[in-house]
Chains A and B, each alone.
Chain A
Amino acid sequence: MPGVSSDSARGALVPLSPESPGAAVYPLRHGLKSPISRLSISWSRGNSLRVSLFAAPSSDGSVNDGDGGKVVEVKLGGGDGEISEAHWRRIAYGSVSPFALLQSRKNAVFSLSKMSMTSSPYDGDWWDYIMEYSKDINALLVNQKSASVPVLDDPKSVITKGEEPTSLKAAWELLEMFYAEKPSHSWLPERLVDWLADYDSLFSGTHPTVHSKLVDFQKELVNLQVVEDDPKYWEVVSSALAVGWLNIVVKMLRLHGSYRLDQLSNRETENGLVEAVAVLISKMPRMRLEQEAGKLGECYKAKPDFVKAWEKWRGQINKLDSSAFWFQCAHQQTREGLRSMLQIMLGNANSLCSATYNWIELYISHFLYMRPLTVGLESMYSLAQKSIQLKPMASAHRLMGLIIGILGENTEVVLAECLKGFGPWMVAHAIELLTAGSDHAEMLLHEERQNLGGISIEELHRLVYAQVLSSFPLTWQIAPIYLMSCMKHGMVLLQILLSKQPVQDNQLLLKSIEICRLYELHSVTSNIMKIAGVHHWKHGRKGSGVFWLQQARDEYRLNRIALQLFDSVGKTISDESFKQWEGLIQLLGSDSKTAGGLEFLHKYRDFKKSLRQIHNGKATDSARQAVESLISLMKNPSTPQRFWLPLLYDSLKLLNWKERPLLNVSQTNLLLNKLQELSMARLRPDFFESELPPQALNSVRLALGTNLGRAILEE
């Protein structure tokens, strides 16, 4: 956890609410027959608990199947039903690059503004960067299940099924439109209309919606012969009109029976009225930047143009409403239905209220038909409050809470709603948008807080998200990106995270080391290598152990394991096992610094090699080399004392060389001194007795004496 504040009484960083809902009880299937005597619970990977159950030993002492114990993994919280674990991970992977890019751009902009001393660092390309970030993240939230697009346009299909919308994407788009798009709030109402058109179905689960009514009606439509006789038809058309789904409305109006060729002649007036309404709907003026191709309505960018068109359009509606043709329309449902539609278009509050099913739909209909010129969050917020009063809701959808928070301009509420409804990923990434344009929010989120242990809210949420990533074996590698963006505690937590990674597998180990290299954490690198080295050594992989300890330049441990190695060297470096040792000695290299006490092995190998060559019959030259190796080994302080006698005993052949003495006087004296030292050392209690024949010492002494005599004579 991120650092605990000095105030330990309020030390909790993520406060637990005491009024949490009553405890739920879930049965755990463990399959143990005997009663449970002991229980142990620990964290497993990610969100799982490992519950170990120990059964009580059966009283009669018999052993039955199912006795003993069992370990069960319990997954906590099925997560978001909407988004699978795998999809969450895909989002996590995908958001790394946009996040990292934005951070580096932020740093660049910040340092540039420091240099040029301009007041606001955030201008120019800044909004492009933010928008690019938001779009990149948004693209990740698309549901992978691709929708099948029908090739033929079915005239009876009023509602087309696009991709399955998700609340997460809906929430991100809300944040994007309010915080990331360069603030031009006059378009916001129309943006919200589009947003609801995309995501109205999300509310269907908990609230009645226009979308669900449309879906229901779609099912009945197949069996309906005369649509206009069905009151539901008019209900649904009015509702769709109220929330501004103009294309659907016009398409549905064209299903009206009066369009049929066989009826056209006797229902001419009626058909004229239906068509007039349809035309008026398709000509509705909209104040928006652009209109998607094929969408109905006429768009105006400038306010004066829009107001003029709006007045003209309403005039036309009024004119139609008071026209005399209504009396000639014989079909009662058509007459009433169409006129109630006109009321909606004229912005009749009661009609709007009865045509919509929840406050958001009502809210949107107000934007469309009553107050298309609403500007500013304050007036949008008061309108939302009014809509909620008119259509109170029993339970709030997580998106509704978010909308209210955004409109209320309350950053803390927005953050809380993001965390509650969408989890740590959302908060960590949404903060970038919240702080993009608002100085107030920036101050609030960047201020270092005493009760959070001296870190800011922004850092807290990044740390929490990094913890979530760290707990899962596949995502821990991306946690460093987020930790490194945390000024206060990021580095320390990164070091802890890296030190905790398993070292058994080389591939994982090297991945950890690579991250250390990127962030220049050399001390962590060498710690990890040491741990790996000791691990391999303990498990009998001596070569791997030596390699990692060498990489870590751990002289101390290399010397320690050298002592252990020597124990086995004395016994096993025989001719047949030479090849096994060869590889290890090669690994040690000629550089004695990284080899520690193992340098001895290297020289010993050279000595053994020349000795062997003598056996192979390559006479005097090899013998000379062997003598040189022997002398340098005996001179070298790193040669352990316990090897002195075996070395000399191995060299008996050299000492008794037939042709001429190979060692000169001083060399022989050196060896004799060593032998003397050895005899003295034998009296000490900690002396290590080699497994040589008991007469070894004497035969070496004799050989050295003889050699000394011969050497003196020669000189």
Chain B
Amino acid sequence: MAFAESQNPLRVRRIPQSRYIDAVRWLSPVSPSDRFAAIAYFDAETNSPSIEIAYVDPNPQSSSPTLTLQSSWTSPSRISSLKTAHSTPQPLLAAATFSGSLHILASDLINGGVMESEATVSELGFHSGPVSAVDLREGGTECVSVGEDGRVNLVSFVGDSSNLSYRRIFDAKGLVGYTAVKWASPSEFATGGYGFGIQWWDQRTPGGPVLQFKGNWCQGKTSGIVHSIDIHPSRKHTCLAGGSSGTVFAWDRRAAQQPIVLSGAETGEAPNSLLSESEVWEVQYDRYTRRSNISNISSTRILPVMICSEDGILAVIEQGEEPLELLAEPCAINSFDIDQQNPSNVICSLEWESLAILTRS
């Protein structure tokens, strides 16, 4: 396994937070020099969940504190999923909770980052039980939420109403549970769930998923849950998914039911390519690459992928190559986010109540 330190310099700053971190995201900046992050905290001592906006000092060498709190919003329940989207004039946040509500927040980054709740859906019947995943469409007018209750809801907002309306796209009545969701285009999105299954939805074709990927390629040995999905804007035919047993795979919708396994216990490849055997909590395409342009990579090849796992690994996987390990922590890495504007910056949340900020150069 390759270690990053030997190949390219990597600066890691670990910042203890004294609170559990449920989720962490970069906020798209208003000006190029800004770096803001949204962090979903849970204070176990007082039992209070909150979302806070913090200014991140971009200079790793500076002596000033790395994180400076800008504003805070108290959530009615713990955050189960947090997404951010670029939007004018302010970046938007979508936060889903364990009590089954959804909150759209806007943060005024120019005037001290004051965060306001723009809108909330918390009525009974939106979701029964926790919302397991939410995704905000780029541009920020629509939001899709899924839960283990089998409901897929589409929330649209125009900005002035404080109570959102939502539309039920599908209700599997608990027969199927969804654990991950990601927009692919203004009308299409993908969901993931139990048994490594992925569903492809198109709002233009209502009544259920358009395509389903059966996750039974493990031949009944062990199956798992998809925790996270990513779709690259230039490769909409491919869904990237990460889940149980260190499994990271891609499903090319054009190639029916055969997955492209990037990492995982069931690959049957040489054991040294096994990056992790535990849960892969999050996957994202890694836009930070020193290689030539993405367009030069053949369209059948999977683009570089960053993953984080329960056994404390943060790594970049490229198809057919040794994975590049960026962090190997003694505790779980529960979530991470790559800065879209400056992909050399990565922020991740660690199980032991701390954040780590990586700067690749």
A contact residues vs B (CB 8 Å cutoff): 45, 84-87, 89-90, 93, 96-97, 144, 472-474, 477, 505-507, 510-511, 514, 517, 536, 539-544, 547, 550-551, 579-584, 586-587, 589-591, 593-594
Contacts and interface: CB of A to CB of B under 8 A. Distances in A.
A543 B18 contact: no
B175 A581 contact: yes
Contacts of A580: 150, 171-173, 175-176, 208
Nearest to B149: A541
Contacts, number: 128
B16 A541 contact: no
B220 interface: yes
Contacts of B207: 579
Given A473-B44, A583-B172, A510 B244 contact: yes
Contacts of A506: 132, 148, 179, 225
Given A474-B353, A541-B149, A579-B207, A97 B244 contact: no
Interface stretch (B83-91, B209-217, B313-321): B209-217
Given A45-B44, A586-B214, A90 B16 contact: yes
Interface of B: 16, 18-20, 44-45, 98, 128-130, 132, 148-150, 170-177, 179, 193-195, 197, 199, 207-209, 212, 214, 216, 219-220, 222-223, 225, 244, 277-279, 281, 310-311, 330-332, 334, 351-353
A505 to B, nearest CB: 7
Given A514-B311, A517-B277, A543-B150, A583 B176 contact: yes
Most-contacted residue by chain B among A93, A543, A591, A593 (CB, 10 A): A543
The 8 nearest A-B residue pairs measured at CB: A583-B176, A86-B18, A579-B208, A591-B220, A93-B352, A547-B194, A584-B175, A540-B174
A517 B175 CA distance: 28
A556 to B, nearest CB: 19
A551 B212 contact: no
Nearest to B329: A97
B278 A589 contact: no
B148 A589 contact: no
A505 B334 CA distance: 14
B321 to A, nearest CB: 27
B256 to A, nearest CB: 14
B172 A543 contact: yes
18 contacts: A85-B45, A86-B353, A93-B353, A474-B20, A510-B244, A517-B278, A536-B177, A540-B128, A541-B177, A543-B177, A547-B195, A550-B223, A580-B172, A586-B197, A586-B212, A589-B223, A591-B219, A594-B220
Contact of B129 (A472, A541, A551, A593): A541
Contacts of B170: 579
B220 A593 contact: yes
A539 B208 CA distance: 23
Nearest to B132: A506
A93 B45 CA distance: 16
A157 to B, nearest CB: 22
A547 B193 CA distance: 10
B50 to A, nearest CB: 15
B322 to A, nearest CB: 24
Given A579-B172, A579-B209, 6 more contacts: A87-B18, A474-B353, A510-B310, A511-B279, A540-B174, A580-B176
A586 B130 contact: no
A93 B175 contact: no
A45 B278 CA distance: 28
Contact of B194 (A45, A511, A517, A543): A543
Contacts of A511: 279, 310, 332
Contacts of B129: 539, 541
Contacts of A507: 281, 334
Nearest to B334: A507
A148 to B, nearest CB: 11
Contacts of A539: 129
A77 to B, nearest CB: 14
Contacts of A45: 44
B333 to A, nearest CB: 12
A580 B129 CA distance: 19
A590 B170 CA distance: 25
B353 A89 contact: yes
Contact of A547 (B128, B223, B278, B311): B223
Contacts of B19: 86
Contacts of A84: 18
A90 B219 CA distance: 43
Given A85-B45, A517-B278, A542 B174 contact: yes
B202 to A, nearest CB: 14
Contacts of A536: 148, 177
Contacts of A144: 16
B82 to A, nearest CB: 14
A93 B353 CA distance: 9
Contact of B149 (A93, A540, A581, A593): A540
